[in-house]
Amino acid sequence: MPEFEAVVGLEVHLHLKTKSKMFCSCDANYFGDPPNTHTCPVCLGLPGVLPVVNAQAVDFGILFGLALNCSIASWTQFHRKSYYYPDMPKNYQISQYDLPIAEHGYLEVEGQKVRIKRVHLEEDAAKSTHPDGAAYSLIDLNRAGSPLIEMVTEPDIRTPEQARIFLSHIRSIAQTLGVSEANPEEGKMRADVNVSVRPVGGPMGTKVEIKNLNSFRSVARALEFEIKRQQELLRSGRQVEQATLGWDEAAGKTYLMRLKEGEADYRYFPDPDLPPIVVDEAWLSRLKAALPELPAQKYARYVESGVRPYDAEILAYNASLARFFDEALAHYQGNPQTIANLLNADVAGYLNEHQQEVQQTALSPEHLAQLAGLFERREITNRVLAQLLPEVMAGASPIKLVEERGLRSVSDEGSLKPLVERVVAAHPRVVEQVKGGNLKAANALLGPIMKETRGTAKADVVKKLLSEMLGVEL
Ligand SMILES: [Zn+2]
């Protein structure tokens, strides 16, 4: 039994996929655009302007809360969180305080409930950069006023792996709902973690917070490092100091940003410029009705339809693959596992290599269904499938390719026999080795046979013919 256990809580920020920013009409999609080109008097914090709540952002907050089994506030408001920093031109951030849009939910991760403390809406700060060695800093206000969801869990996570899976589930939920692209690489999903270690079943230890984690892998690595560090301290009778840490990805280490400091006094007070939001039954029912099938439900449906749990999980928790899988199934009468195999192995390999989402390729769901059908009915071999894949990924119809090139499998012994005889006759040394007991040597005969039939010869039929001719059991 382990001596210690870790207690982990997460705080996740998601950049919302709304058309405009949280409180003004600036285009919220500024990614890749030149600095300070998506601004207006409201998000610049100029005097005398009035913010207006983005209704779509509120819808997104409610949808996200519903997907996490939260209760939705029927009456909520925005607060001002005061602090002075160059990335905050108003000197306060509009956020939610004691009345978040959603709270008290949970998400089940691998059979274990992680409680969701709260989900609230807020605006993002601007982005400051400090060029190396320069005597100045730069500020980009494009991000100022962008809509965010902040989600906070209770400290219910126990391992780095659980944290990683939880975050990937949150990402797939956000993508399935369409509320956020939830892409950590572009800063559209950010996570801070807090972690403490305690003797198993003992009282809570002192927790530290780790910031600046920009991938799920970093979260898991930082947690592994930090849990080990804290355990070693406790084992040697020392104490963990409350602190905020950063994560150095290259060195694989956490580093101290600041030691315990008093709880900052943000002087929260209700924003007098913004009216409270009343979420009535009609609004709530409209959004409940708009909830799409969530990843956990997709997973259950896939498993029910005969997909292996391992594959069902990969598909259900990847919003773009799940959408494609469902579209392909609509064109398919065969075993869904065949399409799942193609997507998770062959297609995934291609996507990895090209760094693309399946929707970015020219592959059509119908063609994928055709390919699965040809393979499942054994009309094409493994080799032909591998051979066709790049062209099918580029938009070609597999049925057409197979017809045009005559790539249907050949399982007819009569038509394969003369070729097999010819190849055997041409390789006397290999034949000798095989007859002498080196059965693996027979692979040298398969190559030329497959080459001549362009991969269409069924391997089991060829093996049977070879076994008969050579008097061995291949
Ligand atoms: Zn603006």
For residue 25, being part of any structural domain is answered with yes
Domain C-terminal end among 370, 405, 440: 405
- Distance (angstroms) between ligand 1 centre and the Cα of 205 equals 43
At 46 the pLDDT is: 94
Asked whether the beta carbons of 143 and 124 are under 8 A apart, the reply is yes
In three-state form (DSSP H/G/I as H, E/B as E, the rest C), the secondary structure along 54-116 is: CHHHHHHHHHHHHHCCCEECCEECCEEEECCCCCCCCCEEEECCCCCCEEEEEEEECCEEEEE
At 452 the pLDDT is: 82
Distances (CA, A) of 225 to 6, 229, 242, 412: 12, 6, 16, 60
At 262 the pLDDT is: 66
- Distance (angstroms) between ligand 1 centre and the Cα of 165 equals 35
Q: What is the largest CA-CA distance in the chain?
A: 94
- Distance (angstroms) between ligand 1 centre and the Cα of 278 equals 25
pLDDT band for 421, please (50, 70, 90 cuts): confident
Q: Please tell me whether residues 94 and 196 are part of one structural domain.
A: yes
C-alpha R_g of the chain: 29
- The Cβ of residue 235 has, within 10 Å, a number of other Cβ atoms equal to 11
Spatial distance between the Cα atoms of 279 and 110, rounded to a whole number of angstroms: 33
Asked whether the beta carbons of 106 and 115 are under 8 A apart, the reply is yes
Q: Please tell me whether residues 224 and 326 are part of one structural domain.
A: no
At 446 the pLDDT is: 85
- Distance (angstroms) between ligand 1 centre and the Cα of 26 equals 4
Q: Please tell me whether residues 401 and 420 are part of one structural domain.
A: no
Mean pLDDT, rounded, of the chain: 93
For residue 219, being part of any structural domain is answered with yes
Q: Please tell me whether residues 390 and 440 are part of one structural domain.
A: no
Q: What is the CATH number of the domain that holds 425?
A: 1.10.10
- Distance (angstroms) between ligand 1 centre and the Cα of 43 equals 4
Asked whether the beta carbons of 290 and 87 are under 8 A apart, the reply is no
Domain C-terminal end among 260, 282, 304: 282
The order of strands in the sheet holding 79-82 is: 92-95, 79-82, 269-270
Q: Please tell me whether residues 385 and 466 are part of one structural domain.
A: no
- Distance (angstroms) between ligand 1 centre and the Cα of 16 equals 15
For residue 287, being part of any structural domain is answered with no
Q: Please tell me whether residues 271 and 320 are part of one structural domain.
A: no
- Distance (angstroms) between ligand 1 centre and the Cα of 49 equals 11
For residue 215, being part of any structural domain is answered with yes
Q: Please tell me whether residues 163 and 45 are part of one structural domain.
A: yes
Beta strands of 200-346 (E only): which ranges? Answer: 208-213, 243-248, 253-259, 269-270, 277-278
Q: Please tell me whether residues 370 and 435 are part of one structural domain.
A: no
Q: Pick 408 or 227 by higher pLDDT.
A: 227
At 363 the pLDDT is: 96
Indicate whether 1 pLDDT > 60. no
- If we measure between CA atoms, which residue out of 207, 228, 157 comes closest to residue 12? 157
- The Cβ of residue 374 has, within 10 Å, a number of other Cβ atoms equal to 22
At 138 the pLDDT is: 95
- Distance (angstroms) between ligand 1 centre and the Cα of 180 equals 19
- Distance (angstroms) between ligand 1 centre and the Cα of 141 equals 9
Domain, as residue range, for 357: 293-405
Q: Which residue matches tokens 């956000």?
A: 174
- Distance (angstroms) between ligand 1 centre and the Cα of 21 equals 7
Q: Please tell me whether residues 458 and 387 are part of one structural domain.
A: no
- Distance (angstroms) between ligand 1 centre and the Cα of 290 equals 29
Indicate whether 461 pLDDT > 90. no
Domain C-terminal end among 405, 431, 447: 405
- Distance (angstroms) between ligand 1 centre and the Cα of 175 equals 25
Question: What letter would DSSP give residue 410?
Answer: B
Indicate whether 442 pLDDT > 90. no
For residue 375, being part of any structural domain is answered with yes
Spatial distance between the Cα atoms of 314 and 48, rounded to a whole number of angstroms: 51
- Distance (angstroms) between ligand 1 centre and the Cα of 27 equals 8
- Distance (angstroms) between ligand 1 centre and the Cα of 143 equals 10
- Distance (angstroms) between ligand 1 centre and the Cα of 19 equals 12
At 261 the pLDDT is: 67
Number of structural domains, the chain?
A: 3
For residue range 142-182, list pLDDT tens digits in order.
999 999 999 999 999 999 999 999 999 999 999 999 999 99
The alpha carbon torsion through 472, 443, 342, 313 (nearest 10 deg) reads: 80
Spatial distance between the Cα atoms of 453 and 439, rounded to a whole number of angstroms: 22
Question: What letter would DSSP give residue 468?
Answer: H
For residue 152, being part of any structural domain is answered with yes
pLDDT band for 103, please (50, 70, 90 cuts): very high
Q: Please tell me whether residues 167 and 267 are part of one structural domain.
A: yes
pLDDT band for 306, please (50, 70, 90 cuts): very high
- Distance (angstroms) between ligand 1 centre and the Cα of 36 equals 10
Q: Please tell me whether residues 443 and 372 are part of one structural domain.
A: no
Arithmetic mean of pLDDT, 1-29: 94
For residue range 242-280, list pLDDT tens digits in order.
999 999 999 999 999 988 766 678 899 999 999 999 999
Indicate whether 414 pLDDT > 90. no
Indicate whether 299 pLDDT > 90. yes
For residue 288, being part of any structural domain is answered with no
pLDDT band for 436, please (50, 70, 90 cuts): confident
Percent of residues, the chain, with pLDDT higher than 90: 74
- Which residues have C-beta within 8 Å of that of residue 411, sequence separation ≥ 6? 378, 458, 461
- Distance (angstroms) between ligand 1 centre and the Cα of 51 equals 9
For residue range 39-92, list pLDDT tens digits in order.
999 999 999 999 999 999 999 999 999 999 999 999 999 999 998 888 999 999
Q: Please tell me whether residues 401 and 422 are part of one structural domain.
A: no
For residue 93, being part of any structural domain is answered with yes
23-37, 119-133, 372-386, 409-423: least confident range = 409-423
